[in-house]
Structure 1
Amino acid sequence: MQSDHGSGTNLLESFRDIDSWIFDLDNTLYPRHIDLFAQMEVKMNEFVSNLLGLTLDDASHLRHSYYKQYGTTLRGLMIEHDIAPDDFLEYVHDIDHSVVEPDPLLGQALCSLPGKRYIYTNGTKDHARKVSERLGITDYFDDVFDIVWAGLEPKPNRTPYERLLEQTGINPSRSAMFEDLARNLQVPDALGMTCVLIVPDQMRDVFHGRWEAESTQVPYVHHVTDNLGRFLSDVLEAIGRGAPNTPVRA
């Protein structure tokens, strides 16, 4: 397993054959300290509270139980309460995106990656668009696959990953998946993808919640970094694609 950016150049040379790059959105393309999810948590608690007549504390507890059981709060609400998804998705993603700052290094690195680049998120396309615009990376992706496209079936379920491969025609053995949740890399690893875990700044373990806590020393995490832009820059150097400030588009 490659630990962080800047070391293990020989290991990074394994990216030489990658021609499809798939990125999660939240806490992956932007750093965790931006904390957009904190805003979404507030909105989700409000939605559940208003829907079911619960206190915000009770709504938060129920939402977390649905997240653990079903993969997303939305899926839990659909299964347990038969809600229509559109209102939930619109309400939850109506947040302040201005806290996301441009990331020129990430943009230059993405632009230089050989092959195709995709976003695959449990969020919405509109949310992905707003985040990408703030980061300054909108033009560097060939397509965005969101929770609606996935038939509201979230990661880490296998079906959407298989659908992604079928629709894009990409070869999983020539693909890399970037995620901030280790459990979401299990299926990509099983499908043959190279898997990169994005962890919080200066951290080496995933600690989103005690129930999710797990070491990065698991077989489906092949590389770990706390800075995506620098990691991709190191990859480009290792595979001989040149400096990211001289982008090459294959």
Structure 2
Amino acid sequence: MSKIWIFDLDDTLHDASSKIFPYINQSMTAYVSQKLNISNDAAHELRDQYWKVYGATLKGLMKNHDVDPKEFLLKTHDVHELSKFVKQSHALKNTLKKLKGKKIVFTNAPLHYAIAIIKSLKIERYFSAVYSIESTKYNPKPSLYAFRKILRHLGEKPHQCTMVEDDLANLKTAHKIGMKTVLVSRQNKKTVFVNKRITKITHLNQQTR
């Protein structure tokens, strides 16, 4: 029986919260402000509203303002700048190298960004595929649609897969459809849909199988 490891990217394989997310957040607000000709404060409020209603800024912009998703993702994820914040880790490479089974990345980030970050981490050799927001027709995790679309493409059953994530909502969906789940978090959150918790990705090993 095959074994598939499905990894989230940001805040799972690398630290995005400290510098990358603030930069992207600022870029998204600036884009909305310029595109809709509104103030930064108004853009921030609109993004917050769209996040609550649609689960993502992009979904709201597409639905209500006919924004081109490719343009939005390209302009808000400047890989030349963002790649500067990535720190390589020998321990991460070693962890992935030792982990048996097929490994893929499944992220809500755009493909050009995901590939750039993975290359900056120098871990591209360990992954057989990268599934991005484009792969799910701009339907982000934790939507069931996104997970099912990736599984159909992989041609695998959920029970053959282990989802490694920092986001509880995404793990809840993964568990709901039958995947095993690993939470990467320093917070001790006990839930029925988390099979194992590790404080950082380099603690992942064969005991999670």
Does the TM-score normalized on the shorter chain lie above 0.5? yes
TM-superposed deviation, 1:183: 0.6
TM-score (norm 1): 0.77
Return the alpha-carbon distance in structure 1 between the equivalents of residues 192 and 45 of structure 2.
32
Return the alpha-carbon distance in structure 2 between the equivalents of residues 56 and 80 of structure 1.
18
Return the alpha-carbon distance in structure 1 between the equivalents of residues 192 and 18 of structure 2.
29
Which has the higher relative contact order, 1 or 2, with Cα contacts under 8 A spaced 6 or more apart?
1
Equivalent residue letter for 1:223 = K
Deviations 1:77-111, CA, capped at 9 Å, x for gaps: 11121211111010011142111111111111112
Return the alpha-carbon distance in structure 2 between the equivalents of residues 136 and 84 of structure 1.
31
Corresponding residue number in structure 2 for 1:160? 146
Selected match of 1:228 from 197, 201, 204: 201
The alignment's C-alpha RMSD in Å is 1.8
Structure 1 unmatched runs, 5+: 1-16, 206-215, 241-250
> Is the 8 Å Cα contact of residues 196 and 223 (structure 1) preserved in structure 2?
yes
CA spacing shift, 1:113–1:18, aligned 2, 3 Å: farther
Corresponding residue number in structure 2 for 1:92? 76
Aligned residue for 2:63, secondary structure, equals: helix
Return the alpha-carbon distance in structure 2 between the equivalents of residues 175 and 151 of structure 1.
22
Q: Does 1:105 align with 2:91?
A: yes
Corresponding residue number in structure 2 for 1:150? 136
Selected match of 1:70 from 54, 59, 70: 54
> Is the 8 Å Cα contact of residues 110 and 133 (structure 2) preserved in structure 1?
yes
Bigger fraction of residues in helix:
2
TM-score (norm 2): 0.92
Equivalent residue letter for 2:183 = L
Give identity over the alignment, percent: 31
TM-superposed deviation, 1:218: 2.2
Deviations 1:97-144, CA, capped at 9 Å, x for gaps: 111111111111112221110101111111111111111111100000
Aligned residues: 207
Aligned residue for 1:22, secondary structure, equals: strand
Q: Does 1:217 align with 2:190?
A: yes
Aligned residue for 1:28, secondary structure, equals: coil
Structure 2 unmatched runs, 5+: none
> Is the 8 Å Cα contact of residues 179 and 198 (structure 1) preserved in structure 2?
yes
Aligned residue for 1:148, secondary structure, equals: helix
Corresponding residue number in structure 2 for 1:12? none
User: What is the correspondence of 1:1-250 to structure 2 with a 5 Å cutoff?
Assistant: 19-94=3-78, 95-199=81-185, 203-204=186-187, 216-229=189-202, 231-232=203-204, 235-236=205-206, 238=207
CA spacing shift, 1:39–1:184, aligned 2, 3 Å: same
TM-superposed deviation, 1:179: 1.5
